Every structure is written in C-alpha cells, then in structure tokens.
Amino acid sequence: MALHISRILHAGYVFECEGTRIAFDTIFENPFSRNCHAFPAVRFDQAKIRQLRFDAVFISHFHDDHCSFDSLDLLDRATPIHIYCLFDELFAMVRELGFVNVHALRVDLPVQVGPLTVTPRIAMDPDVDSMFQVEADGLKVLNVVDSWIDPDTLPALVQHGPWDMVLWPYQAMREIEVLSPSRASTAPEHLPAEWIAQLQALSPRYIVPSSCQFLQESWSWYNHAFFPISYRQFEAEIGAALPDARVVRMNPSVSMRLDRDGLTPAPSLDWVVPVGAQDVDYDYDAQALPPPTSEIARRFPALSAEQAAHVAEYCRSGLLDRYRDMELPEDSFFEQARVWRLSVFDHEGMATRYHYRVEKDSIAPAAADALPLSWSTDIPTAKLYAALAMGESLTSMYMRINDMRFDDATEADLASAELVDDPLIRCLFNDAFGAYQAAQLRRLKESE
C-alpha cells in the first residue's frame, strides 16, 4: 500500500490511498486572503476543481488562509467537512453555504475515511489551531499546519510515532514586527533552536517545509521583511541537524508517493497549474526601508463617497463605541491617560487625523494639539474600509504603529508595551470572529 501526498497551496494538501481521497485546508485561490499571492505562482483550473469528489475535507482552523468560502464554494455540497473550531458560528455559516455533512473535530478523536485515519492533535494555541496525524497501513504523517508544537505535548507526539513524514511550518512570519519597523529587531540568522530539537525528537524519514508559499503585492516591502527563512537555509540547517532525514520541497501541484521503501515522484495535480519558475526562494532584507504609509495608500483605488463616509463615521463614533464595550487587558499601556493619534491615508496619500484621549476603558475625542502624544497609528483608508466591510485581516492592512519618536517618558513606557494593545487593532479584531467568512458568504448569497 502507498500513500499519495499532493500539495495544493500554503497548508493545503491532498492525501490519497486505495481510491480514497481527502484534502486539508483547501485554498483554491490566487491571491488568497485578499493579497497573499502564491509563491511560486500558480493558477487554479476551477472547472476541474468543480468536478473533484473528495471523500472528506479537513480544516485545521478558522483563519481565512485555511477556511475560505470562495474555495469551499467550488466543492460538491455532499462533501463531508470536518473543522477544528470552538465557535458554533462557523459551522452554521458552512451549512448556510449549502454543505449538509459538517462535523466538529475534537483533539485526539480519530476520524476514519476508508483506509485513512485522521486524528487532530493539540496545537500550541488550542483555542485556535489543531494539527493532524494522518495514517494509512502503518504509514504516519504529522501535518503541523502553521501552528507550533507545545514543548509539553512533544513527548506524546514522539510516542505517536515513528513518523514517516512531517509537514513542518518552516517560516517565522514577522507580521508583528512589520507593524513598527523602526522599533523591530533584526530577524535571527538561524532557525529557532526549538525547531531543530523538536524535529530531532520526532525523527521523521522526510521533512517538508510547509505553509506560507506566498508573497504580498509585487510592490510590497513586506516581500523582503515578512519571511526571514529561505528554503535554502531550512534545508541546510535541518540537513545538518538530522542527517538521516531528507528535506523534500513540495511546490503547489507536486505529488509524491510514500511507502515503506521510500518517497518517489507521482503525477502532479492537473487542477493546480504552475506559472513561471517554481523553485523560487524568499529574499529577506533586514536593511529594506519601508515606504511611508502615504505612499502605500496611493497603491489602492479611491473609495466611493459612501465607503469613505463609512470609514469617517467609524473613526468619529463607531470606534469609540466599540472601544468602550471592551475590557482593557491587564498591564495595558492605556491604564493611564494617553493621547492617541489615528492617521487615515486616502488614495492620494492625504491624511485625515483623529486624536483621542484614552484612559482605561474610556475614550473621547481630543484636540489636535493635545499633548503629550503617546501612541500613533497609520493606515490606508482603503484597508480600514476592507477590515470593516470585508473582514480583512491584520497581516494585509499595512498598519503602522508608533513608527516615530516620542518624548523620553513615553519612550520609557513604550519599552514594555505590546503593539497589539493598539486601540484600532483591538477595536477591529478583539472578540471578532469569522468576519472574513461572513463577508464572503454575503457576497456569494447575493450572487446566486
């Protein structure tokens, strides 16, 4: 018996054994999550995808780069959908999309699909993520998706082995560091030591550098700041640390046949179509200078008058109402009174600035000359609208936080502050669930 493993994109895979075919984290879009462009580039043959019949689809978590309704919409509605998610709302939305066989995954509770057994394993953040153990005829694959392995759970995973293959999320995305580039430290030059130790403990025969496989827009400075680890670096360091393992790069569409004797190439997926060079690599540049938000904002089209009014009304009142409804986290920078400036840049790079006095759970408009300024947030108007109306996620919004010099007292306080304490981030994303999928569902229903 053999297990055929094929790469779709990012964390998406197809596993096939004896005529049974299942898929994981099915993303059939390029770009996906609005501005994640496949790297290497591919296109999807949607007509062929609509003809596919999966015996089951497994979704590791609700993030939009793993659970996209535009992609699910291409699948037969009788397909069993298994999702790891603690929120009932997601299951309700998938059913509203038309799927009739929707199931909640539970950690350590196996799901049998023909000769394949899929067991969700606990991830670093069990409130969000899961990992997958896939077995067929004694072959075992650990799909870590884009989670991390908690050191306390590593011994249990070792006992679940021996592992034939590990799909390892090999990128340490710097999605927080790019929010405040002038304050960010340079990325480490080597792989995290815990990655190497964990892979040595798992001791698989084959290791696939998994997840990521995307860049932002072609003009984006993120392309040299987001991903510090190249395929070359990963293969070199893991190869030296695990000489008995083989690092295998699987680009989108690539398929491999795994059996007890080894790993061999198999026919590629014909509905994932490579475009251009495929063995491309990431090019991290610690010296790359980020353009100002005013310049980035000019990359996006103008909003309609109605859309611009929606953003302005949110900044004047909606944001304030939302902030007052939330509970301030412990040790917040805003435990004491602060003046916060929010700058919203339109398609011409012109800023509308809003000033607020923030103290604990209270917020109120402040005069433009209120001092001392203690926190700043810059964002393109188009991206703020996208977050409000389409559930766009933080990683693609080009938000810039505290990218300036404050007075000495404020700088001393900022040394221990968390960037995600930013009031706009909290108002847009704290306690917000499924906004991206809800916006997709509305659009798909309206187009019927």
Give me the CATH number covering residue 248: 3.60.15.10
Q: Is 218 inside any structural domain?
A: yes
Collapsing DSSP to helix, strand or coil, 167 comes out as strand
Same domain, 139 and 264: yes
Contact 105, 83 (CB under 8 A): yes
How do residues 16-56 score in pLDDT, each as one tens digit?
A: 999 999 999 999 999 999 899 999 999 999 999 999 999 99
Q: Is 270 inside any structural domain?
A: yes
First-to-last C-alpha distance (Å) of the chain: 43
Is the model's pLDDT at 341 over the cut of 90? yes
Share of the chain above pLDDT 70, in %: 100
Q: Is 288 inside any structural domain?
A: no
Same domain, 369 and 403: yes
User: Which domain covers residue 424, as residue numbers?
Assistant: 293-446
Same domain, 211 and 339: no
Distance CA 277, CA 307 (A): 39
Q: What is the mean pLDDT of residues 113-131?
A: 96
Residue ending a domain, among 218, 246, 274, is 274
Q: Is 422 inside any structural domain?
A: yes
Distance CA 2, CA 314 (A): 56
Distance CA 398, CA 162 (A): 43
Residue 370 confidence (pLDDT): 87
| Residue 287 structure tokens | 């010296």
Same domain, 403 and 302: yes
Q: Is 284 inside any structural domain?
A: no
Q: Is 199 inside any structural domain?
A: yes
Same domain, 269 and 299: no
Sign of CA dihedral 272, 11, 61, 120: positive
Split at pLDDT 50, 70, 90, the class of 313 is: very high
**Cβ atoms within 10 A of the Cβ of 206, count?**
20
pTM recorded for the entire structure: 0.95
How do residues 241-258 score in pLDDT, each as one tens digit?
A: 999 999 999 999 999 999
Distance CA 48, CA 270 (A): 8
Residue 318 confidence (pLDDT): 97
The number of distinct structural domains making up the chain is 2
Distance CA 5, CA 263 (A): 10
Residue ending a domain, among 227, 246, 274, is 274
Triad 95, 393, 273: Cα angle to 5°: 75
Same domain, 233 and 367: no
Q: Is 299 inside any structural domain?
A: yes
Same domain, 416 and 386: yes
Beta bridge partners of 103: 82
Distance CA 288, CA 428 (A): 29
Residue ending a domain, among 274, 302, 326, is 274
Residue whose tokens read 């080597």:
190
Tell me the CA distances in angstroms from 53 to 19, 24, 276, 381, one per residue in order: 11, 14, 28, 42
Same domain, 407 and 301: yes
Residue 210 confidence (pLDDT): 96
**CATH number of 362's domain:** 3.30.1050
Same domain, 35 and 182: yes
Same domain, 265 and 299: no
Same domain, 21 and 165: yes
Distance CA 108, CA 113 (A): 16
Q: Is 437 inside any structural domain?
A: yes
Q: What is the mean pLDDT of residues 260-288?
A: 96
Same domain, 373 and 425: yes
